[in-house]
Amino acid sequence: MEIERARLTRILAKIKEEEGNVSDAAEILQEVQVETYGAMEPREKIDFILEQMRLCLAKNDNVRAQIISRKVTSKALDNADVQDLKLRYYELMIRYYHHNNDYINICKSYQSMYDTKVVKDDNDKWQLILNYIVVYVILSRRDNEQSDLIHKINLDKRLLEIPEFHALLKSFITRVLIRWPTFERAYAERLNALPIFQGDLGRTLWKDLHSRVVEHNIGVVAEYYQRIHSKRVAELLDLSESETERYISEMVSAGSVWAKIDRPKGIVTFRKRVEPNDELNNWSSNINELLGLLEKTCHLIHRETMVHNVNEKH
């Protein structure tokens, strides 16, 4: 009778929710551990777990929602007959990740939705979701995982069909400064047209997008300059000197860039000082590698000459 009990419990939880007792509804439904029910069909089991997740998120119990989400495996969601449930699952996960501004996992969730057949066959759906993928990958903090993901997304040929978002992604891959006023004017209308850029969430996304632009620009400056005046860095970033120092400090703390600020002199150094012994060791290693290549090249030339001479004699 376990399946019948689970179904009746779900009906009771629905009644409680309709009465406005979302917390009671979530607690009632959580008592049922459908993942242990061997007789229940996989589709009904996943649907039940998704309902548990939804109610937990509705009462802002994000920790329990994450625990329940682990009961659903990616393998179970790959079945063709549960593609609609797969979309529901990742929509709920996106709600959870938004609670912590976990943009990289939001991007991955949208990618999983993008890979479903029902989305790929619908022109409006895949374009919207691909727009979200681009937005959230550039909103993610700079690290190796983000760099790998942004380059993979850039290889998607369908991105060429939405040129504005293709250009948006390209601007964060190209090692060129992004001037925030120009960037904002160029993309404000298109981004504000997306549902995610409405209300309080939209204001948060714009703020974080500005931070990502600044971090990108600091990375570009660090690549082209060894030492530069902090006033000049602030001009390039379209920020005040205090804000510039804060962003650089945050990136240094996160390990995204190496930098050292000399406040009295007003100079920012982006290259770590190399000790003379280390410099000599590197030089010696490079010379040994070069001599090895020369020796190998001479050997190959000598061998080809010998082969050529033998062929001429015959």
What six digits make up the tokens of 276? Answer: 């003379």
255-297 per-position pLDDT tens digit: 888 888 888 888 998 887 666 776 677 778 888 888 889 999 9
With beta carbons less than 8 A apart as the criterion, state whether 259 and 251 touch.
yes
pLDDT for 79 equals 84
pLDDT for 274 equals 64
DSSP lists the bridge partners of residue 227 as 269
In residues, how long is the chain? Answer: 314
DSSP lists the bridge partners of residue 255 as none
pLDDT for 287 equals 86
| pTM for the model | 0.80
pLDDT for 314 equals 63
pLDDT for 111 equals 93
Residues contacting residue 104 through CB under 8 Å, at least 6 positions apart: 136, 137, 140, 141, 145, 146, 149
Residue with tokens 């080809």: 304
pLDDT for 275 equals 66
Cα 201 to Cα 99: distance, rounded to the nearest angstrom: 11
- In this prediction, the residues of the chain whose per-residue pLDDT falls under 70 are 1, 273-275, 278-279, 313-314
